[in-house]
Structure formats: structure tokens, C-alpha cells
A and B are shown apart, each in its own frame.
Chain A
Amino acid sequence: DTEVTQTPKHLVMGMTNKKSLKCEQHMGHRAMYWYKQKAKKPPELMFVYSYEKLSINESVPSRFSPECPNSSLLNLHLHALQPEDSALYLCASSQPGQFSYEQYFGPGTRLTVT
């Protein structure tokens, strides 16, 4: 199983809502990532978890709150978002500790903030 799954596929939320994005993998990977991707742009790294601990936070606003409850699951909690936060949110996983380990990407959640 080389699949990273993400739910929901699409999400529309108001600026006062609270919602969560979910990412799951069963490849035994111990590094998981959240990226934000705007249309026709490359993915931008938001957070990295290594062995279930937050190791990188790329100066992301606090309205985005990541959580890694176990080695297979990664959540991104959203609160009081702005319209400019509308984007495709990609999750990825890999084995930590080696340059050569590729990152496996999920299909993404298309987020629209109204």
C-alpha cells in the first residue's frame, strides 16, 4: 500500500468556522508533511512532523494548527481563516533520516474560504 489518503476532497468554510483536514498513511512512514499549493504554483511547506513530533513550522499563522495523534495520522485544524487561505492542501509522508526517501503525496483537499 503506497497510498496517502486525505479527507475531505473539497471543503468550503466561512471565516468564523472551525474545520479539520485529515491525512492518513499505512506505509510505516515516520515523517509527515503539510503543504499549501496555490493554483499554478509549487507546493509550499507548512509543517513537518518527524516521529510524531513537530520539527518544522514554516512561520505559518496560528489559525492553522497541526496535530499528529499517531504515526499514521496527521490533522490540520483550521480556525478563523481568511479568503487568501483558499488553496489546495497537500499531505505527504516519507521515511525520515535519508536524503533518498521520496515523499508520497496525497490527492489534496481543495479548500475555499468564503
Chain B
Amino acid sequence: AQTVTQSQPEMSVQEAETVTLSCTYDTSESNYYLFWYKQPPSRQMILVIRQEAYKQQNATENRFSVNFQKAAKSFSLKISDSQLGDTAMYFCAFISYSGAGSYQLTFGKGTKLSVIP
């Protein structure tokens, strides 16, 4: 079974600064995807960034980037130039095959990020 651990329940960052959210996972699979999802106070969950395990290059999406260390099973999210709209709960997630063409997400417990003006 896969497990995902987010060790920082809450974090805060000053507007325009950089913050890193940590995530570790455990799996015996060799190919997989990892995701960071964001859930703002309005509750709609959206995908921030994804990383394929076979790709050595770290994924980036504008101000969001990951530091993927496959051997260490670590998948941290860096947010640069933090904005007030980044205030949200961030979930790290691992996707695994469940059978019959279905894939399911295993979520970490989440990190609540507050961006301070």
C-alpha cells in the first residue's frame, strides 16, 4: 500500500517570498505519478503540478516547481513570489492503479499555507 506523508500541518509566508512544502511517500512501484493539489477556502480542489517518476527533470508551472528525489521518495513543492491567492490547503498525492482501468489518488494529510500581506 502507498502512503503519503506531509509533516507540516501549517505554514505561513510573507507575500512575494518563497516557501517550500514537503512531502514524502512510500511505494514499491517503479512507475507512478505524483501530484500537488490546492484547495482554497472556497473548497474547489485544483491541480497545481504533476511529476512522472521516470522523468529526472523536475516539473515547473510558472511560480510552482517541485524538487523530486526519487531515491529518497521525496516530492517537495516550492512556491516562488507568493501571492495572497496562494492561501490554501495543499495536498500531496500519489496515484496508483486500482484495477479495471481505474486509478486512485492517495492523499497526504495536507499543509495549510497562509500568505501574509
- A: residues with CB less than 8 A from B are 31, 33, 40-43, 45, 48, 50-51, 53, 55-56, 88, 90, 92, 94, 96-103, 105-108
Main secondary structure of the interface of A (DSSP, over half): loop
CB neighbours (8 Å) of B104 from chain A are 33, 45, 48, 56
Min Cβ gap A86→B in Å is 15
CB neighbours (8 Å) of B101 from chain A are 31, 50-51, 55, 96-97
The answer to whether the Cβ of B78 comes within 8 Å of any Cβ in the partner chain is no
Known: A50-B100, A56-B99. 16 other contacts (CB 8 A): A33-B104, A40-B110, A40-B112, A41-B109, A42-B109, A42-B110, A48-B98, A51-B101, A56-B98, A56-B102, A92-B45, A102-B50, A103-B47, A105-B46, A107-B43, A108-B44
Complex alpha-carbon distance, A45 and B112, angstroms:
21
Interface residues on chain B, size class: 20 to 34
Min Cβ gap A38→B in Å is 12
Complex alpha-carbon distance, A83 and B91, angstroms:
26
Min Cβ gap B77→A in Å is 15
Complex alpha-carbon distance, A21 and B70, angstroms:
40
B103 and A42 contacting across the interface, CB-CB below 8 Å: no
CB neighbours (8 Å) of B102 from chain A are 31, 48, 50, 55-56, 96
CB-contact partner of A105 in B33, B45, B50, under 8 A: B45
Which residue of A is nearest B99, CB measured? A55
Complex alpha-carbon distance, A27 and B33, angstroms:
22
